[in-house]
Each structure stands twice: as C-alpha cells, then as structure tokens.
A and B are shown apart, each in its own frame.
Chain A
C-alpha cells in the first residue's frame, strides 16, 4: 500500500507551517526594529543639523559684532557662494534682501526669531514643497534680520537608505526562511515517510520490524526508540498469547482425553454399580481439575486487567504469612518436609488479604511439590520468611529442591510456563504466573532466585507506613 501522490505535500507539513509562522514573527520583529532605528536616527540627524546651524549663527554673530551689518553682509555673501554651503539670508529693516543665497521663502518666515523648519528655494530656483530646510532666524538691532539654515535632504537620503535596507533585508529573510522551512519540512517528511512505511509493514504482520534510528539522538530517534520499546512489548505479548493458546489447548486436552478414556472404559468394562460409581467419580475429579484451570485463567486475566482498589486495605503482613505457614505446615510435615518460619513482627502492606493469601498458597504449593525431592539427598526443607527491606516487604518461600535454571525462570512465570521437567507433576502450570500477576496488582513483583540449591520465590510488595496508602 503506497500513499497516493499528493503534490505540495511539503507545504502542508507541520514543520513548514511552523517555519512560516516563525518567519512572520521574524519579519514583524525586523520591521519594527528597523523602524525604530529609522525614527531614532532621524531625530539624531535633526538635532545635529540644528547644532551646526547654531554654530554657524554664532560664527556670523561674531562677524557682526566685529564689523557691523556691512561686514556681516560680505561674510554671508562669501560663505553663500561656497559649494555645499549653508542657506543664508540677510534682510534690511524694510524686508528687502541684502545678501544671501536664498531666493524664495514662505511669507512671514522671517517674522519670528528662533528655530523652524520651512520649505525654501535657492536664488534663481523656484520653491518646491519637497525642499525643506532647518533654519534659525536671528533679529539684529535696527530691524535687520539674519536667517541661517541647512537643507534637510541629507536626512531624507539617510532615511531612504535605511528603508531600502529594511525592505531588502526583509525580502532576503523571507526567501531564506521559506527555503529553510522547505528543507526542514522535506527532511521531517522523509523521516515520517520512513516511519509510516515501516508501521504499515508492521501492521501487515511483520511484528519483528522496528523503526530505523538515524543515530542523531534527535526527537525522531527518541520517538523511534519509544515506539520500538512498545513494539517489543507488543511482540512479547503476542508471543505470550500464542503460547498461552497453545498451552491451554495442550493442558486441557490432556485431562479431557483422560476424562473421555475413563468414560469409555467404564462403558466397555464396568459391570457393577460400584464400577460405574468409581468411573463417574473420576470424571468429576477431572472436570474439577479443568474448572480449576479455567478459574485460574480467569483470575489471572482479572488481576492483570487491574481490580478495583476498594478491595484493598491495610494489612498485617506478618499475620498473613504466619497464617499461611500454619495452614501448610502439617502438609509439609506429612510429606517429610521441615518447615522453617521466620517472620518479622509489625509488617504492614496495603493489599487484598485473599489475593495475597492465594499468591502465598501458590508459592507454598509449588515449593512443597519440589521440596521433598531434596537435591542433596537430605531431608526436604521449606523456609518461609517475611521481612522488611527498605521500602519493601518481602515474602519469601524457599525450597532445597532442584530449583529452576536461570535461563528458564522467566518462562516459569509465564502462563502455563511449565518446564518440560515438571510436566509430569500435578498442577495447572498457572500458580507462579498468578502469584506474579497478584504481585504486580499490588505494585510489586515476583522474583525467582537461586536458593543454592533450590528455588527461592520472593513476593516483593511496597511497604506502607501510614494506615492509608492512598
């Protein structure tokens, strides 16, 4: 199955949209920042122009003080002819110009002394609104007036340069951003496509498939690692389900076959009511065994699905373990197995007494089944201990039988994970997996350890300090 070809797919990627969004924000920021720079530099230039005009006015004032209006007029005329000069205008008390290079001014421009910004024209030119000058008007004694000014075109040029820079920069940013966004989106899309294709093949049944890692330890690698871990678990569970189905079929077929054989045998050979009775009792026994297996399967399923916490309560674990030890001790002794019980007082756990009792009973059943086959030929011993270790309460049941090889321990915890060597012994093969499920329900675990010789099964449960563990 391949994805239908979708043009411009890259534009719809999150990465591209993200790049676009970031680009927008960036352009806005750039425009704002450059605008601010423009405004500030404008102000600065303006202030500088006014400053130079003032300096010029002062210089001319000194001329005036030294040589009167005549000297001033000569100086103005001289300076006004120099290239790139200031703007000058000296007027007589009757308002007529005496000297200077300014031809035309708006009416009334010379009426008031001080700083101003006005349109102007040089001598011989016509006045345009665009020619602006920053001017200073000084009122001299006897009605003479002096205007000194500077063209503001410089400011306009600077602004134009800045605006061009802003515009050019923005265009460049937009182009680069778009290209970058496209490249990133393309890259992301490629990784996603790889993941999607792999997922499809996994869904199609290849459960052993895994997402490839780029080795860059980026977020895609992390996602792939997490997904692979999930696939690992799913594959494990699927394998378990398959094995369970096989084992259920196998383990139920055996008693069913026996049941059927017994019934057939009775029909063929039984002669007296007693014979029939015996055969029927066997049938009932076999059925009870199978019902037991089903009950265990159902209970495991129920426990694994998580039972309501309301069935749990604070428990005295010491009392629980002692009670179970007391229940099993006579059976052990009957089988020639010595029981050693060591329980620390005041052990508290939060849990369900019934389920924990069942888990312990399974461990004890299991230990007793193997304990009498003492590995070193001495008397069989089962030791039952309960103790606190840090944050945990440990219930341990240990025998000195032949134990379980380290490689087989995980399988022993699986449903129906009966090891070949024990298939001949009675039991559903569900005891340990039920105990493990119960341990998990309580937030703990079941550990199988080497008792050298024998098996040490440990129920590890979280200890509670407070009365209520919620």
Chain B
C-alpha cells in the first residue's frame, strides 16, 4: 500500500520510510503540514502517518484541514504526548488511531495495515472465514470443520477482531484497545492468557493451527495450509 509520512524529524522519518519500504509498502515523506497537505491532496495514499508537532501547520490542524476538504484517508497520529486527554484531542481532531512515541516499529506497521484494511471495501461482511474456521457475526456462532465451538462473549469479540484482520499482525495493545477498549500497558501478560485460552478452543485437536504468535510483535490468524 501507499503511505504518506508527515514528520519533521528527518532521522526518525528516514528510519521509518526505510522500514516501511522493507515491509513491502510505498512510502513518501513530507517535512511539514503544508507540504503534507499538498501531497495528500493528490489522493493516492491509503494511509497517512502524521506527527502531532509539526512546523508551519501542526498535526491536528493538518488533519482538521484534510477532513474539512472531505478527505477521509485513514490517519495515524504519532505523538510524544500520550496521555488520555492528548489521545482524546487527537481522535477528536479527526485522527483514526493514536500511537505514542517511542513506539515499536512492529506496532506502527500493524496499526497502519489495520487502518488500511478498515477503509477497504467489504470489511463489514457477515461471515469471516479463515481456512475451515468460520465466524458468523449475525448468529454469533463459530464453527471449525463444521463443528460448533462455544465461546464466551469476550472470546467471540477477540476472535472476531483477529479474523477481521486475518493475515495481518495484531499487537497486544491493539487487542486491548479494540476488544476491551483500554489504552494502557498492563504489567502482566493478560492478553496472552486470553489469546491462549482462545487458541485452546479453536486450534486444539485440529491438525493445522490457525492462530499464530508472531515473536516480538503479537498474533496473527492465518490459514497455514495455503
């Protein structure tokens, strides 16, 4: 996909552009808000990654300007300001996701890919399928190889989120944010335990595992046979 990075710190930007390209994406760089508006105006980007503090036009004003032009390209805000109220301000200004510096690149990549997926058509399908695992969002049922798998409501939401992002890395904080709606760092491995419970329900007794742990990043649901 094509990503526009609006960031005034040239070192940070160079590192990020390089890493995004290595991950197989096309990445362009704008050094300030005005510059970014010009590039974003071309309408060729799938996702925008915007630093909050920018010269000439700050990140939040940049997004506000973009939204007022009717441009709804998914936008990830990067900021050194990471408290609750900063995040609220960022999302109110029209940002779609918020990531606090310093961040792990895997976290940024996972979020950028999730944002791109959000805007892709057909995301709201009623049934998700990965290999022989199906999740029906209307009847709230999960089946693997035709066999009913009973899940708790939270487990269902966890699986639903993982399957909506099938084939993409989903980080622990993304799960905590999207399934539990909390944005903090738990000291204990709460998410891991929930995922491993889910795994024991959907993968146990089946030959090929679908729910994978991606080291140093998070989790991914994917059909291993294909």
A contact residues vs B (CB 8 Å cutoff): 281, 284, 288, 291-292, 295, 298-299, 302, 307-308, 310-311, 323, 326-328, 330-331, 334, 352-355, 357-358, 361-362, 365, 368, 426-428, 431
Contact = CB atoms under 8 A, between A and B. Distances in A.
A377 B85 CA distance: 44
A311 B88 contact: yes
A357 B182 contact: yes
Contacts of B104: 284, 288
Contact of A327 (B180, B183, B185): B180
Contact of A357 (B100, B184, B197): B184
Contacts of B194: 327, 330
A368 B185 CA distance: 16
B84 A327 contact: no
Interface of B: 82-85, 88, 100, 102, 104, 154, 180-190, 193-194, 197, 216
Contacts of A284: 104, 216
Contacts of A295: 82, 100, 185
A281 B216 contact: yes
B101 to A, nearest CB: 9
B81 to A, nearest CB: 9
Nearest to B215: A281
Given A284-B216, A311-B84, A326-B154, A361 B193 contact: no
Contacts of B180: 323, 327
A328 B190 contact: yes
A358 B184 contact: yes
Given A295-B185, A327-B186, A426-B187, 7 more contacts: A292-B185, A295-B82, A308-B85, A327-B190, A330-B194, A330-B197, A358-B184
B84 A331 contact: no
Given A284-B216, A307-B83, A311-B84, A431 B197 contact: no
B216 A299 contact: no
Contacts of B184: 354, 357-358, 361
A365 B197 CA distance: 19
B223 to A, nearest CB: 26
Nearest to A358: B184
Contact of A331 (B82, B88, B190, B216): B190
A426 to B, nearest CB: 7
Q: Pick the most buried of B182, B189, B190: most chain A CB atoms within 10 A of its CB.
A: B190
17 contacts: A284-B216, A292-B185, A295-B100, A295-B185, A307-B85, A311-B84, A311-B85, A327-B182, A328-B190, A330-B190, A334-B193, A354-B183, A354-B184, A357-B182, A362-B187, A365-B187, A426-B187
Nearest to B154: A326
Contact of B83 (A298, A328, A362): A298
A307 B182 CA distance: 18
Q: Pick the most buried of A327, A334, A352, A358: most chain B CB atoms within 10 A of its CB.
A: A327
A291 B102 contact: yes
A354 B84 contact: yes
A331 B85 contact: no
A64 B204 CA distance: 149
Nearest to A301: B83
Contacts of B185: 292, 295
Nearest to B103: A291
Nearest to A292: B185
Q: Pick the most buried of B84, B104, B197: most chain A CB atoms within 10 A of its CB.
A: B84
B190 A299 contact: no
A331 B195 CA distance: 11
Contacts of B197: 330
Closest 10 CB pairs of A and B: A330-B193, A358-B184, A365-B187, A331-B193, A354-B84, A311-B85, A302-B83, A357-B182, A331-B190, A334-B193
A302 B80 CA distance: 14
Contact of B182 (A288, A311, A354, A362): A354
A365 B188 contact: yes
Nearest to A288: B104
Nearest to B86: A302
Contacts of B102: 291
Contacts of B183: 354
B146 to A, nearest CB: 28
A357 B183 CA distance: 9
B204 to A, nearest CB: 16
A293 to B, nearest CB: 11
Contact of B84 (A326, A355, A362): A355
Nearest to B182: A357
A292 B184 CA distance: 10
B2 to A, nearest CB: 29
A361 B83 contact: no
B153 to A, nearest CB: 9
A354 B104 CA distance: 22
A355 B100 CA distance: 17
B82 A361 contact: no
A241 B88 CA distance: 30
A295 B173 CA distance: 15
Contacts of A298: 82-83
Nearest to A352: B84
A330 B181 CA distance: 18
A384 B82 CA distance: 29
